[in-house]
A and B are shown apart, each in its own frame.
Chain A
Amino acid sequence: MSYGSIKALRGVNIEVNEKEIVVLIGANGAGKTTLVESILGITPVEKGRIMFMGEEITQKKTEYVVASGLCLIPEGRGILPLMTVMENLQLGAHHFKGDTSENLELIYRCFPVLEERSKQMAGTLSGGEQQMLSVARGLMSAPQLMMLDEPSLGLAPAVMKDLFRTIGELNSAGYTILLSEQNARQALQCAHRGYVFETGEIVLSGTSEELMHNQRVQQAYLGGVV
């Protein structure tokens, strides 16, 4: 996907290839959320193009983009607290054509906690469980590209480890992932490539190896030497 300039973002160009994990690093307000929301069609794009699987989706409505196989797991999870776990999952498959019971089985196998709590109100789940639900909900539609915006926000360190492990497992299972994270260290450890954002622009890009050993990245985002 290549991308152009909009109000909060200037001259941004990124690419995500199949089966990759690409990470966007940067501080809060650097433009990462704006980027993923623009891809989904929530924030309008002034200049530039968004290509997805050979098709231009720049001006398309969100419902079209989601139906094409993109999904966004937003900052703060975006689950519906007053609906049950099961209903949240069913909503994830809103666009899925076909029988969703297989997807559900798969998800329950990967996340047994969700099966336990399937009849509970989603708002009563812990932060980590809600994050799990959010990811599981995204999976329900068997997306071609999963975008996660700050998934580690508000999670305890132990839960965070689980989260990144899960992201790695999903990738091994064939899912392409675009991750936006403030927690640069863990994100770079699980990603293939990354882009560094500062005030709406990309200042650095490269493989995760390169970024981890880059001095500037180390100073600003990794707290000194790795």
Chain B
Amino acid sequence: MEIFIAQLINAIALGSVYALLVTGFNLLVVVGGIFPFAYSHLVVLSMYMCWFAMKMTGDSVVVGILAGVLSGTAFSFITEPVFRPLAKRGAVLGSFIVAMALSLIITEFMAQKLNMGIVISFPQSLQGKEALIRFGTATVTAGQIATIVGSIGAGLGFFYLLYRTKQGRAFRAMGQSPFSARLLGIPIVKTRIYAYLIAGLLGGISAVFLAMAIGTASSSLGDNLALKVMAVSMLAGIGNLGGGLVAALILGLSEGMVLAYLPGDWSQAIAFGMIMVVVMIRPKGLFGTMA
């Protein structure tokens, strides 16, 4: 029983990181007006930055976290001008192609140039494997608690921004009708840049939590995550921020539980399976597509 609970906590931790990732993804879809396939790859790149920073400073957790968060934000910001002309024309498919190209470049770069393509392993100090709570033979680690609490915190912060602030209203207006937003005098390009910055921030935070949760990273992690983020987003309904949270938990739970009880890495198959089912039965997703 306790093992089950421990696995459950693990699955929830995983799900909460997916939730952050899908929120950043959806923000770029809704306000950025693109299909940000390379988002996860930039997150993995941030994980590498975190790892490098820790290596250079004798495994300093603070530096690692800062490096991850800041690089996530910076990377996203840098890609905005690339997608700007596509967003302007409403070329979503075009943006998907460009994003895929970008993801290939990033993956190859990580495989060839970063740590000579060898899997990187995050120091124990970051992984937070010390058990904080014990019950019976199972434990809940500091890392898991930090991930869950941190993700909830970041998520709440984001939703506060979206629903209770002026900028959040501008985001939602742009997502619903770029034309109306423009008439209201909402600065279109500036608002998109803010969206990229916030999505990048969420991505950087996710990078740190992923480092905690998974403990390692490699050049193939980008594709792996991108697939799952797409699955979650489509399961909920692309762009549906609230629904994305629920769907993220569903995927996290399924993946976590399957990982615990089935041999082999079925996680990608589950994600693909979900996309398949959604596309065939309910293309708009469980909760419908909309901000």
By a beta-carbon cutoff of 8 Å, the part of chain A in contact with chain B is: 40, 42, 61-63, 65-67, 71-72, 74, 78-83, 87, 90-92, 94-95, 137, 141
The answer to whether A67 touches B185, judged by C-beta atoms less than 8 angstroms apart, is yes
Query: In this assembly, does B74 line the interface, its C-beta being within 8 Å of a C-beta of chain A?
Result: no
Residue contacts A-B, CB under 8 angstroms, 18 given = A40-B183, A42-B183, A62-B183, A62-B185, A63-B182, A63-B185, A63-B188, A66-B185, A74-B183, A80-B172, A82-B176, A82-B290, A83-B169, A90-B166, A91-B184, A94-B170, A94-B185, A141-B185
Chain A nearest Cβ from B238, distance in angstroms: 16
Chain B, residue nearest A83 (CB): B172
Contacts of B158-173 to chain A: CB distance below 8 A: 166, 169-170, 172-173
From A42, A66, A82, contact of B184 by CB (8 A): A66
The answer to whether B176 touches A83, judged by C-beta atoms less than 8 angstroms apart, is yes
The answer to whether A62 touches B182, judged by C-beta atoms less than 8 angstroms apart, is yes
Chain B, residue nearest A67 (CB): B185
The answer to whether B166 touches A78, judged by C-beta atoms less than 8 angstroms apart, is no
Residues in A neighbouring B187, C-beta threshold 8 A: 61, 63
Query: In this assembly, does B180 line the interface, its C-beta being within 8 Å of a C-beta of chain A?
Result: yes
Interface contacts beyond A63-B187, A67-B185: sample of 13 additional A-B pairs, CB < 8 Å, sorted by A: A66-B185, A72-B183, A78-B177, A79-B180, A81-B176, A82-B176, A82-B290, A83-B169, A91-B169, A91-B186, A94-B166, A94-B169, A94-B170
Chain A nearest Cβ from B54, distance in angstroms: 43
Residues of B in contact, count (CB < 8 Å): 18
By a beta-carbon cutoff of 8 Å, the part of chain B in contact with chain A is: 166, 169-170, 172-173, 176-177, 179-180, 182-188, 290-291
Mostly, the B contact residues are helix
Chain A nearest Cβ from B190, distance in angstroms: 8
List 8 A-B pairs, minimum CB-CB distance, nearest first.
A66-B185, A63-B187, A78-B180, A95-B185, A63-B185, A80-B176, A62-B182, A91-B184
Docked Cα-Cα span, A91 to B173, in Å, equals 8
Residues in A neighbouring B176, C-beta threshold 8 A: 80-83
Q: How many inter-chain residue pairs (CB < 8 Å) link A and B? A: 60
Chain B nearest Cβ from A101, distance in angstroms: 14
The answer to whether B184 touches A92, judged by C-beta atoms less than 8 angstroms apart, is yes
Docked Cα-Cα span, A83 to B179, in Å, equals 15
Docked Cα-Cα span, A92 to B183, in Å, equals 9
Residues in B neighbouring A74, C-beta threshold 8 A: 179-180, 183
The answer to whether A80 touches B185, judged by C-beta atoms less than 8 angstroms apart, is no
Chain A, residue nearest B185 (CB): A66
Chain B nearest Cβ from A143, distance in angstroms: 10
Docked Cα-Cα span, A42 to B188, in Å, equals 12
Docked Cα-Cα span, A81 to B173, in Å, equals 10
Q: Which of B183, B188, B291 has the most CB of A within 10 A?
A: B183
Docked Cα-Cα span, A175 to B265, in Å, equals 67
The answer to whether B183 touches A66, judged by C-beta atoms less than 8 angstroms apart, is yes
Docked Cα-Cα span, A137 to B169, in Å, equals 14
Chain B, residue nearest A41 (CB): B182
Docked Cα-Cα span, A71 to B186, in Å, equals 12
Residues in B neighbouring A65, C-beta threshold 8 A: 185
Chain B, residue nearest A81 (CB): B176
Residues in B neighbouring A79, C-beta threshold 8 A: 180
